[in-house]
Structure 1
Amino acid sequence: MVDYSTKAPGVYIEEITPAGPIAGSGTSTPALIGTVAATVPAEKLGIPVPITNWTGYTSQFGDFAANLNLPYAVRGFFENGGGFAYVVPIKDLTGLPAALDQLTRRPDVSLVALPGVVDPAVQATVISHCEAMGDRFAILDGAPDATPLKTDGALQKQRAGLLSKNGFAGLYWPWIVIPDPQAAAGTTATLTKPPSGHIAGIMARSDNQRGVHKAPANEPVRGAIDLAYPLNNLEQDQLNTKNINALRAFPGQPPLVWGARTLTDGTPWRYVNVRRLFSYVEDSVLAGLRWAVFEPNNTGLWKGLERSITEFLTRVWQSGALFGRTAAEAFYVKIDEELNPPATRALGEVVVEIGMAPTRPAEYVVVRIGIWDGGASVNER
């Protein structure tokens, strides 16, 4: 700060750095946890390693192995449009708590998967981690099951133990059939593998092409040539009501992700894109408003916060993420004396209230069709 006591009386100009716009946070960086082919020193187990391509993975962790799931998941992530991931090697599931602890130190992680692990108790631990962090989404593999509709079957029992209060997880089923990358040339050997790594790549691809507000569904699973269980419509009717996201194979098309629900019974957080959109906005606002910490808590600060948040949410609305013909219909930002009375300000707190109207996916497209006789309406059948 300039010491004006040493200067002549007069008017002096100082340039200040205003609060910049809020930048959107990343949404498509997964942490893929599992066992690798290479021998990893004990001190490096559970440590997230940044990987940007398949070659980067093999150079550190070895190649494919039929008894492993992680390498196929990593390859599937990059095949489906992913560009950056953390690979977290563990010796076995006893190393999961330490791995999750290390992930709390990687704030850019937004997706977490444990490819091939279908134990609901273990998966619940991953969900709890995502809920505690508040900005992560767990991509879970459904249990292989030849009778997926039976209440005492592996898939239904698994789902029953995985309800997430605020929708921080999605369960995907069935497993996918992929070409065996180690098969001899000219052969058509295949492997059945869990889809979670491929789903993480699809989310990254959808985020980059359309935005996090678009449901990562009706998207092809690149690298998959078939599904371990060919669902029909009646079966998916029942699975969808249990919020199990199906992968489907329709005639003439590659396998598609055909579900976009989270593991919650509550309507507000039913859809994957709504949960992930709010996580994106929350992360972006938290990072973009750090300039305000320790500033004088007065109406000038309040106006600055309101401007920054409003400008950011206007861009979110313009991208199609929020529902409303105008920005005023799509969101509101409130910061005033009602939220910040003297008692609150005395505690060093400033409270901002934000409301958003997210767009939800058109899960059911209803077409009414009938015989038209040239009149004003059709004769429905």
Structure 2
Amino acid sequence: MVDYTTAAPGIHLEEFTPAGPISGAGTGAAALIGTTATLPTGSDLGKPVPVTSWNAYRTRLGEYKAGLNLPHAVRGFFDNGGTFAYVVPIKDFGGLDGALQELTRLPDVGLVCVPGLVDAGPLKDKVIKHCEDQHDRFAILDGVQDTDPLKADGPLQTQRKGLLSPNGFAALYWPWILIQDPGATGGGTLTVPPSGHIAGVMSRCDSTIGVHKAPANEQVRGAVGLDHPLNDTEQGMLNSKNINALRMFPGTPPLVWGARTLTADVPWRFVNVRRLVSYVEDSLIQGLRWAVFQPNNTALWKGLERSITEFLTRVWEAGGLFGRTAKEAFYVTIDESLNPAPVRERGEVYIEIGLAATRPAEHIILRLGLWDGGARITEG
């Protein structure tokens, strides 16, 4: 801005960056942390390695190795529709802190997996906390293997009691899946944790429909069976604990059959709602940088309102927000009640946004009746 205290009197021209359309932030890039067949040496250990395919991964970090979950998770991610991932190679889970610290430098990460890590302590205190703190990524967690998933003091229920994401930035999936064992001659299966495959499913839903679509009722590609086939009663109990089940029904491959987060807070109960709001927040942060250092006046407020309204209208038209009209689906407020003189003097602008997020139809209720042209007999 021109310093008019020393400028000659006259007409002055100021140029500014106009408000432009907000592009949606990326959501499907995954970070997968674990031990690789070929470990980098020196300072490269624990540093994220960008990969765009299974072939790119095995070229840089090796193929399968007995006892390693990460290679199968990476393969599952790409097989299920993932297109870009950061792989963070560590020697053991003792390197988790450093790996998560490295991920703070990568704003495009949308999903975080540590395949095979089932200890509730590190998951809650490190992985979930990382996603809560960053506020722009989602943790996909593996449930511990268990032969009796409903037993109150069993491994799975004990793990669940130790996990909580207050704002819904994590979800737990169970059981583990069966895949074709790539190291077996003449066939055979291998049991692996599902988190990498689930990350691929989420990435696939994001790219084909949108982040607002619940990543459930979706095929887990590459899975040929489940470590523990669930029945309806078992799944009902797990679902009430916000443990997302993988199921097989007659004639179907393994499917993701749950979409709940690890929170007791109803507004953040569903995976797609949490990720949709994070997507909106991240998109606005990236798309409104043009406004920083602009004159803080009503012209700026109107420009911000136009940009945000245009972006949210596109989200609503894509099915991410609920309402017959855009006005029912969201609101944007930038006025003097939010930005009085003391706020403006501090160089701050406050914007209030309300969203009516679309929630998944988790329970479809069918009312069946017998009709003979007169009376009806109904089952609720």
Q: Bin the TM-score by the shorter chain.
A: over 0.9
Please tell me the residue identity of whatever aligns with 1:86.
Y
Query: Is the 2:367–2:378 contact (alpha carbons within 8 Å) kept by the matching residues of 1?
Result: no
Residues 39 and 89, structure 2, Cα contact 8 Å, conserved in 1: no
The TM-score with structure 2 as length reference comes to: 0.95
In structure 2, the residue matched to 1:155 is 156
Residue in 1 that maps onto 2:345: 346
Other-structure match for 1:33: 33
In structure 2, the partner of 1:5 is none
Letter in 2 for 1:246: A
CA distance in 2, matches of 1:179, 1:261: 28
Deviation at 1:25, TM superposition (A): 0.2
In structure 2, the CA distance between the partners of 1:337 and 1:376, relative to structure 1 (3 Å rule), is farther
Q: Does the 8 Å CA contact 2:198/2:220 hold for their aligned counterparts?
A: yes
C-alpha RMSD over aligned residues = 1.8
- TM-score (normalizing by structure 1): 0.95
Give 1:376 deviation, angstroms: 7.1
Amino acid at match of 2:100: L
Q: Which residue of 2 aligns with 1:177?
A: 178
Counterparts of 1:175 and 1:73, CA distance in 2: 12
- 8 Å Cα contact 2:316/2:326 also seen in 1: yes
Q: What residue in structure 2 maps to residue 356 of structure 1?
A: 355
Q: Please state if 1:257 is matched with 2:256.
A: yes
SS in 2 for 1:302: helix
CA distance in 1, matches of 2:214, 2:160: 21
Q: What is the 5 A alignment of 1:101-180?
A: 101-124=101-124, 125-180=126-181
**Structure 1 residues 248 and 292, CA gap change in structure 2 (3 angstroms):** same
Query: How big is each residue's C-alpha offset from its partner over 1:31-83, in whole Å with a ceiling of 9 and x where there is no partner?
Result: 00000111320311111110000111111111101200000000000000000
Separation (CA, whole Å) in 2 of partners of 1:43 and 1:326: 54
Partner Cα distance (2:336, 2:14) in 1: 31
Is the partner of 1:88 in helix, strand or coil?
strand
What's the CA shift for 1:163?
1.1
Counterpart mapping for 1:284-303 below 5 A = 284-303=283-302
Provide the residue aligned with 2:50 in structure 1.
50
Counterpart residue type for residue 95 of structure 2 = G
Instruction: State the distance in 2 between where 1:171 and 1:376 align.
Output: 47
Post-superposition offset of 1:12: 10
Identity %: 66
Counterpart position of 2:5: none
Query: SS of the residue aligned with 2:266?
Result: coil
The corresponding residue for 1:20 is: 20
Q: State whether residues 178 and 189 of structure 2, in contact with CA within 8 Å, keep that contact through their aligned partners in structure 1.
A: yes
3-state secondary structure, aligned to 1:164: coil
The code of the aligned residue for 1:234 comes to T
Gaps of 5+ in 1: 3-9
Distance 1:190 1:82 in 2: 23
Residues 214-253 of structure 1 mapped to structure 2, 5 A cutoff: 214-253=213-252
Contact 2:23 2:283 in 1 (8 A): yes
- Structure 1 stretch 342-351 or stretch 270-279: which is displaced more? 342-351
Query: How far apart, CA to CA, are the structure 2 residues paired with 1:21 and 1:378?
Result: 55
Is the alpha carbon distance of 1:139 and 1:380 closer, same or farther for their aligned partners in structure 2, counting shifts above 3 Å? closer
Report matched runs for 1:57-68 at 5 Å. 57-68=57-68
Decide whether aligned partners of structure 1 residues 353 and 235 sit closer, same or farther in structure 2, where only a CA change above 3 A counts: same
Tell me, in whole angstroms, the C-alpha distance in 2 between the residues paired with 1:121 and 1:273. Answer: 25
Residue 207 (structure 1) aligned with residue 213 (structure 2): no
Query: What CA deviation, in whole Å up to 9, does each residue of 1:223-281 have, x standing for no partner?
Result: 00000001000000100000000000111110000000000111100000000000000
Residue matched to 1:7: none
User: Which residue number in structure 2 is paired with residue 375 of structure 1?
Assistant: 374
Q: Distance in 2 between matches of 1:13 and 1:289?
A: 24
> For each residue in 1:196-240, what CA deviation from the matched residue of structure 2 results, as whole angstroms up to 9, or x when unmatched?
000000001011111000000000000000000010000001000
Structure 1 ranges of 4+ moved more than 4 A: 10-17
Q: 1:61 to 1:380 in 2, by over 3 A?
A: closer
Aligned length: 374
SS in 2 for 1:268: helix
Asked whether 1:330 is paired with 2:325, we answer no
**Cα distance in 1, alignment partners of residues 114 and 378 from structure 2:** 53
1:142-198 deviation line (CA, Å, top 9, x unaligned): 0000011011011001011111101000000000000011222xx121100000000
Alpha-carbon offset, residue 380 of structure 1: 3.7
1:360 and 1:52 mapped to 2: Cα distance? Answer: 31
Task: Provide the C-alpha distance between the structure 2 equivalents of 1:173 and 1:220, rounded to a whole number of angstroms.
Answer: 15
Q: Distance in 2 between matches of 1:12 and 1:230?
A: 74
What's the CA shift for 1:94?
1.5
Name structure 2 gaps, 5 residues minimum. Answer: 3-9
Matched position secondary structure for 1:143: coil
Equivalents in 2 of 1:42, 1:245: separation in Å? 39
Deviates more, 1:315-324 or 1:57-66: 57-66
